[in-house]
Amino acid sequence: MPSSLVHRMPYGFGPSAGPRQGPDGQPFDWSDTPRRRAVTTSYLTDAALLGRLLPPGFSLAGEPVVTVEVQYFTELEWLAGRGYNTLGVKFPATFRGASDEVTGMFLAVLWENLADPILTGRDELGFSKLYAEIPEPRILRGKECHGASWLGHRFIDIELHDAREAEPPVPVGPATGGTLHYKYVPSTGNWGGTDIAYACHTPPGGSQQRTTRFLRALGTVTFHPTGWEEMPTQFHIVQGLAALPILEARGATISETRGGKDLADQRRLY
Amino acid sequence: MPSSLVHRMPYGFGPSAGPRQGPDGQPFDWSDTPRRRAVTTSYLTDAALLGRLLPPGFSLAGEPVVTVEVQYFTELEWLAGRGYNTLGVKFPATFRGASDEVTGMFLAVLWENLADPILTGRDELGFSKLYAEIPEPRILRGKECHGASWLGHRFIDIELHDAREAEPPVPVGPATGGTLHYKYVPSTGNWGGTDIAYACHTPPGGSQQRTTRFLRALGTVTFHPTGWEEMPTQFHIVQGLAALPILEARGATISETRGGKDLADQRRLY
Amino acid sequence: MPSSLVHRMPYGFGPSAGPRQGPDGQPFDWSDTPRRRAVTTSYLTDAALLGRLLPPGFSLAGEPVVTVEVQYFTELEWLAGRGYNTLGVKFPATFRGASDEVTGMFLAVLWENLADPILTGRDELGFSKLYAEIPEPRILRGKECHGASWLGHRFIDIELHDAREAEPPVPVGPATGGTLHYKYVPSTGNWGGTDIAYACHTPPGGSQQRTTRFLRALGTVTFHPTGWEEMPTQFHIVQGLAALPILEARGATISETRGGKDLADQRRLY
Amino acid sequence: MPSSLVHRMPYGFGPSAGPRQGPDGQPFDWSDTPRRRAVTTSYLTDAALLGRLLPPGFSLAGEPVVTVEVQYFTELEWLAGRGYNTLGVKFPATFRGASDEVTGMFLAVLWENLADPILTGRDELGFSKLYAEIPEPRILRGKECHGASWLGHRFIDIELHDAREAEPPVPVGPATGGTLHYKYVPSTGNWGGTDIAYACHTPPGGSQQRTTRFLRALGTVTFHPTGWEEMPTQFHIVQGLAALPILEARGATISETRGGKDLADQRRLY
């Protein structure tokens, strides 16, 4: 592989293939795959409580509307045709740095059910990825039940119903600004210190993703009581999300897409 | 939690509990748990090929003997009483930095079957952890079969036989020097660039681990053919290990221990 | 539930809901679900070897062509919207009993990745169901990789390539005759004796299954070496199938369907 | 294999190896394996409600005390050195048939986390086995948390605490009489009809099982709300058990054993 290839731990074995570099160091073809089915449910919450979840440099942008999104990916070329599932929580925010100011959707946490994309996403992109079990949905007589658990503890249920075919929406507001992240890695030995702490941006556009089906639905989100014994490394995240009141439902969507992008346009913000 | 607590991604939810800080920010009790059963198999290999697996600043120390170690942990207090399994590959090496010179066992790669300790270990300690399935061993008529797979692809088999009770050995040579690591995180956007790249050291001693049983055995290690399609993010690691010739068997061990330490003594080398 | 409801072990808790009786004892709606994606690969083999796999009363019918079929079910109403996967091996055969003579496809073995349909199918229908892991296929650049394993031992690989849209075929020959089975349960205590041993028949027709997509492809099947240590309860089955020579490929198919039937028309043959 | 060997579905591939016949048709060695860790929790319940769970021919014997037992097996020779876990519910009962009268512990249901012993146990022994996930216990600061789930729905929690070393008890009363079962397989096609319906008995004694450790503890059992959507084939069983009031705790035990028997002494009752 050429010298500018990306390494990940373990370093000594040479560059690591991943979403943005294949076994030959070249990018993958994202024109027709992956396939993806995604559901979202959104709700208005309390601005003050939501704002507490933002890292340094970030502030809320517009209405405090939380969107929970579950994605089921298959036929990912970078995984040699395999798939995985994700569950993300995002809301509109603005990052103001020394030189950059960007408004977009802040991705507060993204659970995934496979460790390898968790590691590539954390290390290379600064996505706040964690592990959870995210089983295929249960779909019965028009009702869809999605959710996630950690070592058997179900911490979130997402239910959709009354889905109807609709036109895919044209994004407006912060959703047009791409996705915002905060890359962070602590120091080793210097406990409490910081090795990496900076904002990142996934710019909008540049994707070959096309929507093949879109539906609007009604949806609900329920976070289940979760303490240290249930999720000893993640309980504070579930508690932080569960503390957000659901003031008003803002609708749900179901979409099916093909194609995408490798996020090589991910950039650090200054 | 006090202000010097360790954060991990996602940052915005506050400090994250982990092996070195409980839900109250305090350390855990490592005097009697975890329980741990470990097997090792060692073999002499080719020094030139082995040396290629070392990161910058490292060189081989003494004989090029590879040790493959499988560990089965239960009753881990920091996981609220759960367990997980690991499979590590290590060999003696010396790190020489601007001011530090340390000889110990270099941990080239450590597979674990649970994402949460993978993340705490990579981010906080600089351990080169990756995910693999590591099932409980198959133990039949005195033969033990250990191994690991990734999404169903079995990439290593480790077999032990002819085990006999023995005295736990007193470490000699590089094994007395603790464990060496290379913490590495790539830059975001500046592809091929580096956010973190430094050596780390787990000093020997300070552990409450005590051996309750020890056996010597004979053992073999087999790496199975693995290409990009089988392990699209890790094939180069399996291939790098499979390329090391097994020139001479150097014995196998089985040990059972209780207690340990939280590795808060992990330090960056300069 | 009414008195004619089906019981399964454990008997004492009352009738057990299953594919043919819901929680209220009523049948389910099979008009639009389940969704099903299925692939088949067929090959000509040796008649004498194939005939040995037939139970008493059965003989080969027409050409000795083996069909391996993998099915991925979702949205099964009787599982409250869940799904599961199956891998079956079948070939044309005739059952001649005291009064019945039926030619159809004999289902020699059907692996499934969920215990509950295994139990309902064995006990209620006489299907020769066993457990195996049957992961979602890996689909990469037009090649599909299907297969199954048992506790990590991959015993079969099925690969399809060069798929092209085609007209769904109109069944001819034995495939028009439904599916044949041999229900068998041994005696307890009287070892080697028999509690149940009779042929069963799934008649053709009566299904609401409709094909929404159909493709023809090329395909290969590979059985991997499997001994008692690898599959201590099933190795003889894999060995029996692996012993069948692949004399000539007979094509592969991919189909997507919706709807089905509950197999309440399953009948005992005499 | 000799002609009196046991067959199971699929019949056509010949006799099936299992707990009572190895690949050569011979019995296994049960003198030193399996290893087994078991916990039990018992409670007094309502006799009338408990009696409803009994199949035809059975009646309660003595006090209506329910025992929930979780077993973790490893090193099972008939599984070539693998293990599995079980969760059983039993209570004292008497079977009175035309010629047999036996008092023992009636095994109302036995969940196991592996399909193969479920099939051998149901078909060969008449054990009322079903599938559930039964993870390793969580053991934290003297408290043990056991339990089971079905496709992610946790339906039972069993907690033990205050364990103290004790003498293994000498069985008294119905526990000295072995274990009782009701083998049942429905008819095919003749829905509501019966192919097999008879009582079975596992006589006491004849086992090479020896106890290497025994503790007495306090324990609790909790069944969680479970409807058809949560466990569409088993909800009635969980509901039947959840309906039994816990009138008085009757203690808990922890035991570790080695060796056993293959249950070839299982017999049909008349």
Partner-chain contact C23 D235, CB within 8 Å: yes
Residues of D in contact with C86 (CB under 8 A): none
Other C-beta atoms closer than 10 Å to the C-beta of B148 total 24
Q: How far is CA D88 from the centre of its chain?
A: 4
| Model confidence pLDDT, tens digit, residues D54-73 | 999 999 999 999 999 999 99
Of the pLDDT bands very low, low, confident and very high (cuts 50, 70, 90), residue D1 is very low
- Residues of chain B above pLDDT 90, percent: 98
The Cα–Cα gap between C74 and C18 comes to: 16
Q: Which of B14, B129, B185 sits opposite A185 (nearest CB)?
A: B185
Most B CBs within 10 Å: which of D73, D138, D161, as the mutation test of the B interface? D138
| Model confidence pLDDT, tens digit, residues D156-191 | 999 999 999 999 999 899 999 999 999 999 999 999
State whether residue D236 sits within 8 Å of chain B by CB: no
Interface of A with C in 59-78 (CB under 8 A): 74-75, 77
Query: Which residues make Cβ contacts (< 8 Å) with residue B178, sequence separation at least 6?
Result: B102, B104, B105, B201, B202, B203, B204
Chains that touch D (3 or more CB pairs under 8 A): A, B, C
Amino acid D106: pLDDT:
98
| Model confidence pLDDT, tens digit, residues A34-93 | 999 999 999 999 999 999 999 999 999 999 999 999 999 999 999 999 999 999 999 999
| Model confidence pLDDT, tens digit, residues D5-43 | 999 999 999 999 999 999 999 999 999 999 999 999 999
Residues of D in contact with C79 (CB under 8 A): 232-233
Task: Give the gap in angstroms from C-alpha C195 to the nearest C-alpha of chain D.
Answer: 7
Amino acid A3: pLDDT:
52
Round the CA-based radius of gyration of chain D to a whole number and report it: 18
The Cα–Cα gap between C108 and C95 comes to: 13
**Closest residue of B to C152, CA-based?**
B152
The Cα–Cα gap between B157 and B132 comes to: 13
Q: What is the three-class DSSP state of B238?
A: helix
Task: Give the gap in angstroms from C-alpha B229 to the nearest C-alpha of chain D.
Answer: 29
Q: Inform me whether the pLDDT recorded for B1 exceeds 60.
A: no
Amino acid D2: pLDDT:
42
Partner-chain contact A229 D152, CB within 8 Å: no
Q: For every residue of A40-102, which 3-state class applies, written as one string?
A: EEEEECCHHHHHCCCCCCEEECCCCEEEEEEEEEEEEHHHCCEEEEEEEEEEEEEEECCCCEE
| Sites in chain A below the pLDDT cut of 50 | 1-2
Partner-chain contact C192 D6, CB within 8 Å: yes
Other C-beta atoms closer than 10 Å to the C-beta of A68 total 21
| Model confidence pLDDT, tens digit, residues B196-225 | 999 999 999 999 999 999 999 999 999 999
Q: What H or E segment, with its residue span, contains residue D50?
A: helix D47-51
Task: Give the gap in angstroms from C-alpha B198 to the nearest C-alpha of chain A.
Answer: 10
Return the domain boundaries, chain C: 34-263
Measured over the CA atoms of residue B202, residue B204, residue B209 and residue B212, the dihedral's sign is: positive
Whose CA is closest to D63, among D51, D81, D79?
D51
Q: Are strands B248-258 and B35-44 parallel, antiparallel or unpaired?
A: antiparallel
Task: Give the gap in angstroms from C-alpha B78 to the nearest C-alpha of chain D.
Answer: 9
φ, ψ for residue C224, nearest 5 deg? -95, 150
Amino acid D4: pLDDT:
84
Average the pLDDT over C76-95 and give the result: 98
Between chain B and chain D, how many beta carbons pairs sit less than 8 Å apart?
Answer: 36
Average the pLDDT over C47-58 and give the result: 98
Task: Give the gap in angstroms from C-alpha D93 to the nearest C-alpha of chain A.
Answer: 35
Average the pLDDT over B39-50 and give the result: 98
C4 vs C39, residue with greater confidence: C39
**Closest residue of D to B140, CA-based?**
D81
Partner-chain contact B237 A268, CB within 8 Å: no
Task: Give the gap in angstroms from C-alpha B79 to the nearest C-alpha of chain D.
Answer: 9
Residues of A in contact with B119 (CB under 8 A): 118, 122, 130-131, 233
CA triple C48-C54-C60, angle to 5 deg: 55
- pTM of the predicted structure, to 2 decimals: 0.97
Q: For every residue of A101-131, which 3-state class applies, written as one string?
A: EEEEEEEEEEEECCHHHHHHHHHHHCCCEEE
The Cα–Cα gap between D30 and D25 comes to: 15
| Model confidence pLDDT, tens digit, residues B116-169 | 999 999 999 999 999 999 999 999 999 999 999 999 999 999 999 999 999 999
Partner-chain contact B74 D140, CB within 8 Å: no
Between chain A and chain B, how many beta carbons pairs sit less than 8 Å apart?
Answer: 224
Average the pLDDT over C135-157 and give the result: 98
Give the ipTM of the model, two decimals please.
Answer: 0.97
Average the pLDDT over C263-268 and give the result: 98
Task: Give the gap in angstroms from C-alpha A137 to the nearest C-alpha of chain C.
Answer: 7
Q: Which CATH architecture has domain C34-263?
A: Beta Barrel (2.40)
Q: Inform me whether the pLDDT recorded for B2 exceeds 50.
A: no
Interface of A with D in 153-192 (CB under 8 A): 154
Residues of A in contact with D138 (CB under 8 A): 229
Amino acid B142: pLDDT:
94
Average the pLDDT over C129-156 and give the result: 98
Q: For every residue of chain C, which 3-state class applies, written as one string?
A: CCCCCCCCCCHHHCCCCECCECCCCCCCCCCCCCEEEEEEEEEECCHHHHHCCCCCCEEECCCCEEEEEEEEEEEEHHHCCEEEEEEEEEEEEEEECCCCEEEEEEEEEEEECCHHHHHHHHHHHCCCEEECECCCCEEECCEEEEEEEECCEEEEEEEEEEEEECCCCCCCHHHHHCEEEEEEEECCCCCCCEEEEEEEEECCCCCCCEEEEEEEEEEEEEECCCCCCCCCCCHHHHHHHHCCCCCEEEEEEEEEEECCCCCCCCEECC
Q: Is C197 exposed, middle or buried (0-12, 13-18, 19+ CB in 10 A)?
A: middle
Exposure class string for D98-133: b at 16+ Cβ within 10 A, else e:
eeeebbbbbbbbbbbbbbbbbbbbbbbbbbbbbbbb
Amino acid B66: pLDDT:
98
Q: Inform me whether the pLDDT recorded for C3 exceeds 60.
A: no
Other C-beta atoms closer than 10 Å to the C-beta of B110 total 25
Amino acid A158: pLDDT:
98
Whose CA is closest to C123, among D92, D70, D122?
D122
Residue B115: half-sphere exposure toward Cβ, Cα within 13 Å: 19
Task: Give the gap in angstroms from C-alpha C227 to the nearest C-alpha of chain B.
Answer: 15
Average the pLDDT over D122-127 and give the result: 98
Most B CBs within 10 Å: which of C139, C154, C155, as the mutation test of the B interface? C154
State whether residue D261 sits within 8 Å of chain B by CB: no
Whose CA is closest to B84, among D152, A236, D115, A131?
A131
Cβ atoms of A58 and A108 closer than 8 Å: no
**Closest residue of B to C143, CA-based?**
B229
Query: Which residues make Cβ contacts (< 8 Å) with residue B244, sequence separation at least 6?
Result: B45, B46, B49, B50, B66
Q: Inform me whether the pLDDT recorded for C2 exceeds 70.
A: no
State whether residue C267 sits within 8 Å of chain B by CB: no
Amino acid A50: pLDDT:
98
Residues of D in contact with B134 (CB under 8 A): none
Question: Mean pLDDT score of chain B, rounded to an integer?
Answer: 97
Q: Which of B12, B22, B184 sits opposite A55 (nearest CB)?
A: B12
Partner-chain contact D17 C229, CB within 8 Å: no
Partner-chain contact A135 D154, CB within 8 Å: no
Interface of A with B in 11-50 (CB under 8 A): 11-18, 20, 22-23
